[in-house]
A and B are shown apart, each in its own frame.
Chain A
């Protein structure tokens, strides 16, 4: 294995940072009114006072709910190494009650070095969990239940939520339930019997402000001075970042990005793309990297789909669009073919192909999800007769055809009237 260059090393370092949420969210936790401090206060008081608690962390996807919680839990595990144990569930994986109880039992067994039985039934597992809660309560040990994708647990009978929260009603138990959800109305989904047992603490996560993000850029991109990099390289790298950041064009890029989507996730993706475009020879980032990253973030799949179409497929799309303009409520391949023929008859276009070729093109459009069947009923009919609909708007079609490499002028005219 040959020695990696400083450029590769810095790339590795920065990409590693971007992929580690705990590193990204660390600086946002410093202030006293941050979500981190709030959450830590609530959980640590429940640990020290030995009481039960339940909290919901709400916010859009990718706003760092789980990352902040991980930081808090990590710190608490260091602070109270003997009196905290963490059980993690994810709604995507464990929304099924049976599966969820089994997973809790499994993690409890792992934690306390007990033998886990795969064959245990739902009842046995739930009894085991209640017993464990009591035991832990007696030993003054707090169990933190982290329920990611909380809203998924609220589907169905909510048996897991009920039994957890009900077990917490007893004096002996000592547990904290922390739900994470991107649905702001997650607590409204709960049944009455569950809701009454839930203490309605909610912490809202918001996207970072521009100032916070500026600080974050510094934190993510600057190289540490005391590392094994050549000293000149570090200062050059950091200088370059500073230059880019003060550039007005860079500020414009950031503004467009913020206007589109200002969650942490999309910002991180943007930086990741820019960093991966870094020139490995010079080992420095440039403004062009960020520009290219922005343009690759601003994809318009529907326009791309139209641009991918062949001329014949464009003809079919235009025919469908014309039928829609004529206020024909529904249409199928046969009626599209009729329209195609009228166009051919009145304009004598050179692109008039047999029906089976058109049907193939039609199927291509459906495969690419530019069109789809209007309804799922009527599968007794063959594809030609099933009603269809366009999945792109008129303006998208128009724009896509304008930017198409070789769209005939007559098609654009036909689209307009």
Chain B
């Protein structure tokens, strides 16, 4: 359930997207492309426009412009760093558009190995476009830094800015530290003032220190936006600024405590604002105090649940709405997190039992299975209520810590199925009925366990696909595949509650 890299790259107006109009292959050979084509091509934007486009980035924009200096002015390499979605790339690109200077932009996310990176830079410098005529090949074949330096020397004539985005990703490349070292000293290796290098990194410069010694570029820091900056950012391009401002008064403060990343706030605010406006007929009104209060009381119950979820996936927008309403009702009826108790996805009964069985198999030690699932059902807890000495308490604590560090244990498929059958038979009788219904299969193939087994095995594989179970490496002794349950205790308890299954009775607590 790790959060994947946010898909911000696609949304940025990088040159490749915005310069398509510029670098259109000219059918007639009269137009020879020049270095001037490496600029944005459109008319440059004014400094005021850049500043107003990026609230809260005023000093960074001025610093960048100053470090770049006047036209054709030699400059030392600059490294821009700051967290995700702090406007690093867009500020650089907008400043270049404002100054109307030629540049080459390559992101190390799309250029994922040295060869692609080098060739992409050279292609842009040599004004080469991959097309069907040249078989989508690069202008030069180049995969070594030494070749790259030679080719770059030949390709450079006028002053060009080289912008390398996402430099921090290079650390994970094969031989990445060498490439980084090379990029950092590219300026001194080349000894050509025509190329001025701007590196953009998500990580501060100190992560690049290596034992080789490191010539650090001039650094420029983009801090996370403050609450006031965020207000300015969200107020931009709003149709009704008064209304939105009233909305922000309500939501910005609590959400800022959780995250200050624009991208994450943006998605949450969009859906919340829709809710906020629901009682209004006319979206153009400017709200007075009374109305603000009313809207706030309307929105208030929605804020807490929204703070506690990171994304909402709904196939139909309407579905999301009804769920939201249901949630609203639930939270109105009981103040607390009652609504979280509902299992909010559909799952068959047998899958739920399997889920619980897997959870138990991962949490309980295998040696205790026999005593747990004997005919009495559940463990007799009284036996363990001995008075614990200090030492044993300490031991217990250490064991507990170790268990937390080790995470869920792995188990073979046989154990999962055995536990499943135990708890399914103990569980409510409705499951038994269901089973009988299944047995009335028109094929009349098999009346006994086999039918069940094949169904269950199918369920196991679909649980694996849904990432509730993961297959971990095979056991060296038995050679069979082992599974591991990835379900949190909350979810297991929820599933158990929906089945009225006494899960805590079966859970071994140290």
Are A and B co-members of a single complex?
A: yes
Binding site for B on A (CB under 8 A): 4, 8, 11-12, 15-16, 18-20, 60-62, 66, 90, 92-94, 96, 99, 103, 148, 182, 265, 268-269, 272-273, 276-277, 296, 299, 301-302, 304-305, 307-308, 310-312, 328, 330-332, 334-335, 338, 351, 353-357, 359-361, 363-364, 367-369, 380-385, 387, 405-406
Query: Nearest B residue to A61 by beta-carbon distance?
Result: B213
Contact A16 B473 (CB under 8 A): no
A99 to B178 alpha-carbon distance, docked (Å): 15
> Please, which residues of chain B bring their CB within 8 A of the CB of A277?
66
Interface: B407 (CB within 8 A): yes
Interface: B223 (CB within 8 A): yes
Query: Nearest B residue to A276 by beta-carbon distance?
Result: B66
What are 24 A-B contacts defined by CB distance under 8 Å?
A4-B71, A11-B69, A93-B146, A93-B149, A93-B182, A99-B144, A103-B146, A182-B212, A299-B219, A304-B221, A307-B224, A308-B82, A310-B257, A311-B257, A334-B404, A335-B404, A335-B405, A357-B308, A357-B309, A360-B3, A363-B3, A369-B204, A369-B207, A382-B1
What 1/0 flags go to B222-239 for Cβ under 8 Å of A? Answer: 011011000000000000
Interface: B70 (CB within 8 A): yes
Contact A330 B405 (CB under 8 A): yes
> Please, which residues of chain A bring their CB within 8 A of the CB of B81?
301
Interface: B475 (CB within 8 A): no
Interface: B472 (CB within 8 A): yes
A126 to B357 alpha-carbon distance, docked (Å): 69
A265 to B205 alpha-carbon distance, docked (Å): 16
Contact B214 A61 (CB under 8 A): yes
Interface: B84 (CB within 8 A): yes
Contact B74 A15 (CB under 8 A): yes
Contact B182 A380 (CB under 8 A): no
Contact A310 B259 (CB under 8 A): yes
> Please, which residues of chain A bring their CB within 8 A of the CB of B212?
182
Stretch at the interface among B95-103, B185-193, B416-424, B435-443: B185-193
How far in angstroms is the closest Cβ of chain B from A363?
Answer: 5
Contact B218 A269 (CB under 8 A): yes
Interface: B215 (CB within 8 A): yes
Our pick among B207, B309, B340, B401 for the contact of A328 (Cβ within 8 Å) is B401
Binding site for A on B (CB under 8 A): 1-3, 63, 66-67, 69-76, 81-84, 144-146, 149, 178, 181-182, 185, 188-189, 193, 202-207, 212-215, 218-219, 221, 223-224, 226-227, 256-261, 264, 307-310, 340, 401, 404-408, 470, 472-473, 484, 486, 488, 490
> Please, which residues of chain A bring their CB within 8 A of the CB of B3?
359-360, 363
> Please, which residues of chain A bring their CB within 8 A of the CB of B74?
15-16, 18-20
Contact B215 A364 (CB under 8 A): no
Our pick among B1, B202, B218, B401 for the contact of A356 (Cβ within 8 Å) is B1
With most chain B CB atoms within 10 A of its CB, the pick from A4, A182, A380 is A380
A332 to B149 alpha-carbon distance, docked (Å): 45
> Please, which residues of chain A bring their CB within 8 A of the CB of B473?
380
Contact B73 A11 (CB under 8 A): yes
Contact B259 A93 (CB under 8 A): no
Contact A360 B404 (CB under 8 A): no
How far in angstroms is the closest Cβ of chain B from A370?
Answer: 10
> Please, which residues of chain A bring their CB within 8 A of the CB of B75?
15, 19
> Please, which residues of chain A bring their CB within 8 A of the CB of B146?
90, 93-94, 99, 103
Contact B70 A90 (CB under 8 A): no
Q: Known contacts A273-B218, A367-B84; is A310 also within 8 Å of B193 by CB?
A: no
Contact A8 B70 (CB under 8 A): yes
How far in angstroms is the closest Cβ of chain A from B267?
Answer: 12
Contact B76 A269 (CB under 8 A): yes
Contact A382 B256 (CB under 8 A): no
How far in angstroms is the closest Cβ of chain B from A43?
Answer: 20
A94 to B148 alpha-carbon distance, docked (Å): 12
A53 to B60 alpha-carbon distance, docked (Å): 51
Our pick among A92, A103, A269, A312 for the contact of B259 (Cβ within 8 Å) is A312
> Please, which residues of chain B bring their CB within 8 A of the CB of A405?
226
Q: Known contacts A357-B309, A359-B1, A364-B261; is A182 also within 8 Å of B213 by CB?
A: yes
> Please, which residues of chain A bring their CB within 8 A of the CB of B188?
66
Query: Nearest B residue to A381 by beta-carbon distance?
Result: B407
